[in-house]
Each structure stands twice: as structure tokens, then as C-alpha cells.
Amino acid sequence: MKLSRFIFSAVVLLGLAVTGAVWAEETAGSGAEVAIAATPESMAPAQNLAQLVSQASEAAGTAQDSANWVWIMLAAFLVMFMQPGFAMLEAGLTRSKNAGNIMMKNLMDFSIGSIAYFVIGFGIMFGADKLGLFGSDGFFLSAANTAGKEGMWQYAFWMFQVVFAATAATIVSGAMAERTKFIGYLVYSVCITVFIYPVVGHWIWGGGWLSTLKTPMVDFAGSTVVHSVGGWLALCGALVLGPRLGKYGPNGESKAILGHNMPLAALGVFILWFAWFGFNAGSTTEASQSIGLISVTTNLAAAAGAIGAMITVWIKEKKPDPSMSLNGVLAGLVAITAGCANVSPGAAIAIGSLAGILVVFSVEFIDQVLHVDDPVGAISVHGVCGAWGTLAVGLFASKEFGGIAGLFDGGGLALLKSQLLGVLTVFAWCMVLGTLLFLAIKFTIGLRVSKEEELRGLDITEHGVESYGGFQIFTTD
């Protein structure tokens, strides 16, 4: 596309030059000869053409750079819009007495995370590589400057990356909802965006060891880097916290604790679906033709995930449950995020459908067998389906679409092995670091609110407000 734009510009400029020369000769006669005679040697015809070509090339490059800047910033703004999406979803699927607390968590994990990622996290993720494990410079966004194009690009690139970091942190909130101390939430949000998430990002996106394997791991927009990191840390947090009061009976039977606002949860999912186009297509970091393909695969996987989850829960429970169908959308989106630029539209439907089916069984297994209380299904949606989507690249990747072949396209097991290695390594990293982090918070400042505070609701006990004034049985007195 750049070459065709360049050739077109050169031809247009050359045509204008030739037309002007003919017109001058016809109208000025011998005056044209005088003008030519007066032209410096440096402006000879061959060099005139070279100059025109150079100008056309520069103009094409400037236009492409400007388009890249506009696209990455638009994508960053879309991804930032995922914050209210997650907030609406989490609030809708939990009880009204905790809605304000959830709003505060989603507000502050982005606010605190932005500063933490600016100071340290971005440098660890994208700084000069050390041993394939972490970056070692670029702290305080020191590589950015206003002196040239490369320095200015760092500002745009940082803005796109910080919204990803905030997404990884906010995923954890849902699984730990309704019983977590607000101060504990703030501390672990900082730790995630400063260190745990950036290290994984460096391994896969920042030039680390998983990106330099003989067959590099492929995670185009972050099924593992963002979503599985958030999902596995959510699992650690839920395990250390324990279940909400009344969630499990004396014999271990699971009891449903219904959310208070299904329309709010649905609004959150629609916001996330919309913003996900920035998440996936924006990961090109340039205004390229692949944006169309990525948007198609993203949309098809989300739709297939919704259908797969709806049919599965309809068969199992005899009713097409709305909350599980909504999680099916997210499951499809999470799963396609790794391979959205590397698989065909048909493969995207398969990946999304299987994710929608998988999320139903995963939610039930984690709740009823493992007895891990996850109010919104974040562990299943982001952790389990993120792992599935990453592995799916090793199966469905196609040379026609992304230049690398998975098992089903004749590529053998090489890519699948790299994907599996990445999934297992990130799982181990998050489980070890996450468990240590949450235990440290638990035994220092405290991770869980008291029984009385949990019963009254975190809006009143943690923030001194009611989200729905006059509707709750407790007061701030």
C-alpha cells in the first residue's frame, strides 16, 4: 500500500512537471530557453525527477506516520473504555450494596496503575533486554522526547500499553468482589502493573525469551499476556480470600448469590465488545490493511462464543441463562485475542464457539468442584479461555493470514509446543507470585473485610456511601 501510494504521488508530480514545461515552451518560446539556461546545474532534468521522487516519498511516509499515530491513539481510547465496561459488568453481577466499591476499584486501578506503569512497569516491559527476562531502562518514560519522530512515538506507544496494563489489573477485581479491603486492592493493583504483568509482557512482546524461541510464541493482542495473567492472579486472590459468606453450605453445596442488575451487566458486555476492536485491531500499532481481518475474526469469535455458551447452558439447565451467555461473548473475545491476526474467519468461529462451551463447564467446575468463589466468572473467562485461545493459535494459525502455520495448516507441532510452553510458564509465574503477594497483604494490612462489614456492604463500610440511596437496610450512622 505504501509503495502504490508512493508511485502514484511520483507519477502525479512528474505529470505536472512535464505539463508545465510544455505549456512554458508553447507560451514563452525562446523565454523557456532562457529559463533553462538560467537553471543551476543542480536542477538538471534527471535531478529534477529525483527531487520529485524524493518529495513524493517523503510525503507518503509522512501520511503513513500520521495515520499510524491517529490509529494507535484511537485504539488506546477504545481500550480505556473497557474500564467502564468491566465496572458495569462486575457491578451488575454482584449485589447492590457493593456497587460503589466496584466503581471505586475500577477507577483507582487505572489511576494508580497509570502512575506505576509510567514510573517502572513500562521500562520492565519494553526496556533493553536483560537475560531475556526483563527490561532494564526506559523508566519514567525516559525514551520519549519532543526532538524527533521516534521520541514522539514513545508517548503514543506508552498510552496504548498503559491501558492494557490497567485491563490486566482490573480483571482481578471481579473474582475478589464483595469481600476485599479497598486498601488491599490498591496495593495489589500497584504490584501487578509495576512488576508481575510487565515481566510477562517482556517475555512475549518486549524481546524476552518466549519471543526468541526457534519458533516464537504468538500472542498477538494478549490472550496470555493480559487476560491469562489477570485470570490466574484472580484465582490466587480468590483462593487466599475464601468464599463470600453464605456461598457454600455445610455439606459443600454451592448456593447462587445473584447479581442485582442484569441490564447493567449486559451494558458492560456490549461496551467491552465494542472496545475490543481497539484492543485487537489496535495491536497492529499501525494503520495497515490487516485491521479489517482482525476486526472480522474478533467479531465472529465473540458472536460464536455467545451462541456456544447459550446453547450449552440451555441444554444443561433447560433455560438460556443471560449471565452465562454474556460470559460466552467475553470468552470468545478473550480466546481470539491471541490469534486474531493469524487465523481465518472460519477458524475464529471455531475458536469462539469452543470458548463459549468451555466457559460454561469451567465456571461450574471452579465453583462446584474446586469451591473457589468467583462472582463474575473472571477466572474461567480470562484465565481458562485465555489459555485456550493461546493454544488455539498453534492449531489454527494459517500462513495465508498471518505468515505462520499451525498444526491444521501443515505446520506440525512446533508452534503448538511454543504456545504450550508459554501458557504453562505464565501460569506458574502468576500462581507463585500472586499467592505470595496476596498472602503478604493478608498478614500485613489485611486482605478481607470483617464479617460485619461484608454483611453491611462495602459501599457503607469502606466508602461511607450508598450506591442506591434509600434502598439499603443499613445506614452510615
Residue 361's contacts (CB-CB under 8 Å, 6 or more residues apart) are 312
Contact, 426 vs 168, CB < 8 A?
no
Residue 222, C-beta contacts closer than 8 angstroms, at least 6 positions apart: 164, 279, 283, 337, 338
Amino acid type, 294: I
∠ CA(271), CA(276), CA(278), 5° rounding? 115
Given the C-alpha cell 469462539, which residue does it identify?
Answer: 352
Take residue 234 and report the three cell numbers written for it: 484472580
d(CA 239, CA 155): 38
Q: Which amino acid is at 226?
A: V
What values do phi and psi take at 285, rounded to 5?
55, 20
Q: Residue 427: helix, strand or coil by DSSP?
A: helix
pTM of the model: 0.87
What burial class does residue 31 get, using C-beta atoms within 10 Å of its C-beta: 0-12 exposed, 13-18 middle, 19+ buried?
A: exposed
Three-state DSSP at 142 gives: coil
Helix (H, G, I), strand (E, B) or coil at 248: strand
C-alpha cell recorded at residue 453 = 462489614
What was the pLDDT predicted at 15? 47
DSSP letter string over 144-178?
A: --SSSHHHHHHHHHHHHHHHHHHHHHHHHHHHTTT
Residue 200 above 90 pLDDT? yes
The CA-based dihedral angle spanning residues 342, 346, 352, 357, taken in that order and rounded to the nearest 10 degrees = -140
Specify the CATH number of the domain 81-463.
1.10.3430.10
Question: Alpha-carbon distance 339 to 318, whole Å?
Answer: 33
- For 297-309, give the secondary structure using H, E and C: HHHHHHHHHHHHH
Stretch (H or E) spanning 30? helix 30-38
Confidence grade of residue 402 (pLDDT, cut at 50, 70, 90): confident
Average pLDDT over residues 223-247: 97
pLDDT of residue 194: 97
3-state SS track over 382-396: HHHHHHHHHHHHHHH
> Per-residue confidence at 63, pLDDT binned at 50, 70, 90?
confident
* pLDDT single digits (tens) 93-109: 999 999 999 999 999 99
**Do 337 and 231 form a contact (C-beta atoms < 8 A)?**
no
User: What's the mean pLDDT in 111-129?
Assistant: 97
HSE at residue 30, side-chain half, CA atoms within 13 A, is: 0
DSSP string, 252-297: --B-----S-HHHHHHHHHHHHHHHHHHHHGGG-S--THHHHHHHH
Q: Distance (Å, rounded) from C-alpha 157 to C-alpha 57?
A: 25
Give the side-chain half-sphere CA count within 13 A for 138: 23
User: Would you call 318 helix, strand, or coil by DSSP?
Assistant: coil
Counting residues of the chain whose pLDDT is more than 70, the rounded percentage is: 86
* Dihedral, CA of residue 209, residue 211, residue 213 and residue 219, to nearest 10: 120
* Residue 10's pLDDT band (cuts 50, 70, 90): very low
Model pLDDT, residue 193: 97
Taking 90 as the threshold, does the pLDDT of residue 477 lie above it? no
Q: 135: which strand partners? A: 129
Is residue 464 packed enough to be buried (19+ CB in 10 Å), middle (13-18) or exposed (0-12)?
A: exposed
Q: Give the dihedral of Cα atoms 404, 410, 411, 414; nearest 10 deg.
A: 150
Residue 29 clears pLDDT 80, i.e. is over it:
no
DSSP state of 81: T
Instruction: Give 3-state DSSP helix, strand, coil % of the chain, rounded to 5.
Output: 75, 0, 25
Report in angstroms the alpha-carbon separations of 477 from 35, 381, 464, 470. 92, 39, 9, 14
pLDDT at 470: 72
CB neighbourhood size of 127 (10 A)? 21
Give me the phi and psi of 94, to 5 degrees please. Answer: -125, -175
The ranges assigned to domains in the chain are 2-58, 81-463
Query: What pLDDT score does 463 carry?
Result: 96
- Closest of 298, 299, 331 to residue 313, by C-alpha: 331
Question: How many other CB atoms sit within 10 Å of the CB of residue 142?
Answer: 12
